[in-house]
Amino acid sequence: MTANDEYVVEILENVGLISGQQAREALELAQQHDKPVVDILDAQGTVGKADILKALANQFGMEFMSLTGVEIDQELFDQVPSEIARRYKVIPVYKSDNTITVALSDPLDVETLDSLRYVLRTGVEGVVALPEEIEAAINSHYGSEAQIESMWDSTEREVRETLDIPDLEGEDEVTDADAPIIKLVSLIILEAFRSRASDIHLEPQEKQFRVRYRVDGVLHEVESPPKRLQSAIISRVKIMANMSIAEKRLPQDGRIQINVMGRDLDLRVSSVPSNHGESIVMRILDKESLQLGLPKLGFFSDDQQTFERLIGLSDGIILVTGPTGSGKTTTLYACLNHINQPDRKIITVEDPVEYQLSGINQVHVRSDIGLTFAAALRSMLRQAPNIIMIGEIRDKETAEIAVNASLTGHLVFSTLHTNDAPSAITRLIDIGLKPFLVASSIRGIMAQRLVRKICDKCKEPYTPTDQELRLLGPMANNISQAEMYHGKGCNECKHTGYRGRIGIFEIFTISDEVQHMIFEQVSAADLRSRARELGMRTLREDGLRKVIAGSTTLEEVFRVTMGDAN
């Protein structure tokens, strides 16, 4: 029996649906069996539940509607996430202006509508529908627990044993109905970790909700959940990342901290509105997998000696260049770890701080409060550091501070987005730096890419095709007699033939002659030509050395160096 039962039977008696005797009997039975009086009247056959709800809806000036065959706009499910619909036992039915109309089964429950207005941050009106139809609509549009169980049952036990997600703010309000979506998102994260993925991509398409993992730099599509679960999954991820589920028009960033198989992971979450819903990318940062030794990056001994000499200098700027995802940040961390000594003060300014390094002072850029790269750098110089690491040189102001720091006795590490090493010189001049400042401050530039390593379990010799040799041009003579390998494909590498990645490098050291060329503002092409004459190996040439060494394949080297001149 509920607190409103007496009021309900009074209304039903007043409209003539039940007699006074039937009302008293129903109330007695409701109290004896601790059930709502509506269920008692319906079970006795005294009056149907639909007629009862119609009478109550009429009493409160609400509409009663049947949900059978009703088509609901997908946009509404993006605005009312699964967690909300299941928690409050409502289903959105239509939207007018800034008001969402939801169907609920209890017209006396005014608190639900008030709560929804607060949670959804919009106007909410109610209509009345049968609870069975509301539950069926929720399962149909958001997915039922049974459907999710059948999809992911094989790994349920493993999720419970290996994935530990800390309690979230408001998590104590989660109901049993939320569990399937929570479990599904946990499984997506676990499978990504098991696959050694660096990114998880949740991409709403017109007719599907695509899930892809980036493994060793290449995207692989995996079995995707039903399209109807899209809004529920996205909302769950946003809740975990402490992002606003009400904001769907603007990009957002968040962070998830979890423990998988005893390893602490950081997931950097980014959401961007797209035509068919919000696209979510989760970047997985595994602190334990960070390779902080220079040899582990893939250097040959001669390149490692050259690079160690550069990073051992007392002042100047060392730049690492390449596109997004080429491992620049990992290389910078390896440099800092290599030169981190008790007698040196090292400060970094990053956006964001991706990994915590012991003994190093790391500053997280926050533009929203005025802590920009430039502002942080100016303050850092007052801390009397020996070595400074700047996450990225993005503008003239940051570049000028970095140059001034290098000219006053600091060693500065940073990154740029350029295709090769010599192009970084022209990029800095294009930003607005004077050529003489660039020439006197830059000590060395290293361009890099990541290539996939051949799987050790299925590695076998092979003969390159004529087409591959033609693509090599004059370089074909250097490797025509060498034995090359590729991966046949096995369970260990998921039949890709590759497992893990290593770097290929192009190291450009700034000599006196090169300084003069920079001062004269020669073109990047002329700088590159002269650098090669002075002994610089291009990315493709270093990649071919790793092909000959049996570390990677011609196909991989071609994939990441197609713009490289032979």
The label of the residue with tokens 């106007």 reads 123
Beta pairing partners, 386: none
**What mean pLDDT is predicted for residues 241-267?**
85
pLDDT given for residue 9 in this prediction = 77
| Distance in angstroms (rounded) separating the CA atoms of residues 288 and 285 | 9
pLDDT surpasses 90 at 297 = no
Q: pLDDT-based confidence at 154, cuts 50/70/90?
A: very low
pLDDT of residue 41: 80
**Segment 291-309 mean pLDDT:** 84
Q: How far apart are CA 219 and CA 213, in angstroms?
A: 6
Question: What mean pLDDT value characterizes the chain?
Answer: 83
| pLDDT tens-digit map of 517-552 | 999 989 889 999 999 999 999 999 899 888 888 899
How far CA 29 is from CA of 18, 35, 393, 400, 469, in Å, comes to 15, 8, 75, 83, 88
The mean pLDDT value for 60-84 works out to 81
Residue 213 confidence (pLDDT) above 60: yes
Residue 565 has pLDDT above 70, yes or no: no
- For 91, the enclosing helix (H) or strand (E) is strand 91-96
Q: Write down the pLDDT at residue 152.
A: 46
- Read off the pLDDT band of 212 (50, 70, 90): very high
What pLDDT, on a 0 to 100 scale, did the predictor assign at position 145? 52
- pLDDT class of 179 with cuts at 50, 70, 90: low
Residue type, 157: R
Residue 269 to residue 188: CA distance in whole angstroms: 14
- With 50 as the cut, is the pLDDT of residue 169 above it? no
Q: Which residue has the tokens 């034995």?
A: 483
Measured distance CA(196)–CA(265) in Å, rounded:
12
pLDDT above 70 for 231: yes
- What share of residues in the chain are helix, strand, coil (percent, to 5)? 45, 25, 30
- How would you list the strands of the sheet with 91-96, edge to edge? 91-96, 99-104, 123-128
Nearest residue to 504 via CA among 429, 545, 449: 449
Which among 320, 344, 306 has a CA at the least distance from the CA of 442?
320
pLDDT of the residue at 174: 45
The CA distance from 149 to 268, in Å, is 28
More confident residue, 143 or 327: 327
Residue 160 clears pLDDT 50, i.e. is over it: no
pLDDT for 506: 95
Q: Of 416, 238, 385, which Cα lies nearest the Cα of 318?
A: 416
User: Taking 70 as the threshold, does the pLDDT of residue 239 lie above it?
Assistant: yes
Q: What are the pLDDT digits (tens) for 395-433?
A: 898 899 999 999 999 999 999 999 899 999 999 999 999
Greater confidence (491 vs 435) lies with: 435
> pLDDT at position 441, please?
94
Backbone Cα Rg of the chain: 32
pLDDT of residue 285: 81
Identify whether 461 is preceded by a cis peptide bond (ω within 30 of 0): no
pLDDT of residue 475: 66
Q: What confidence category does residue 204 fall into, taking pLDDT thresholds of 50, 70 and 90? A: very high
Tokens representing 149?
């169980």
pLDDT for 172 equals 44
pTM of this prediction exceeds 0.95? no
In contact, 479 and 548? CB cutoff 8 Å: yes
Of 14-18, 82-86, 87-91, 470-474, the one with minimum mean pLDDT is 470-474
Place of tokens 């309900």: 8
pLDDT digits over 438-492, tens only?
Answer: 999 999 999 999 999 999 889 998 887 777 777 676 666 666 667 788 888 887 8
The 3-state DSSP class for residue 259 equals strand
What pLDDT is stored for residue 412 in this prediction? 94
Compute, in degrees rounded to 10, the torsion defined by CA atoms 307, 313, 319, 325: 50
Residue 500: closest CA among 454, 562, 446: 454
Q: 3-state class of 446 per DSSP?
A: strand
Q: Which region among 18-27, 152-161, 298-307 has the lowest average model confidence (pLDDT)?
A: 152-161
- In degrees and rounded to multiples of 5, residue 46 shows phi and psi of -65, -45
SS3 assignment, position 283: strand
Question: How far, CA to CA in Å, does 500 sit from each of 47, 296, 503, 551, 553?
Answer: 68, 11, 11, 10, 13
pLDDT surpassing 70 at residue 165:
no
Confidence category of residue 287, pLDDT binned at 50, 70, 90: low
The answer for residues whose C-beta is within 8 angstroms of residue 128's C-beta and 6 or more apart is: 53, 54, 56, 57, 62, 63, 64, 65, 103, 104, 105, 107
DSSP annotation of 371 reads: B
pLDDT of 176 above 60: no
Residue in the structure block whose two tokens are 């239509």: 94
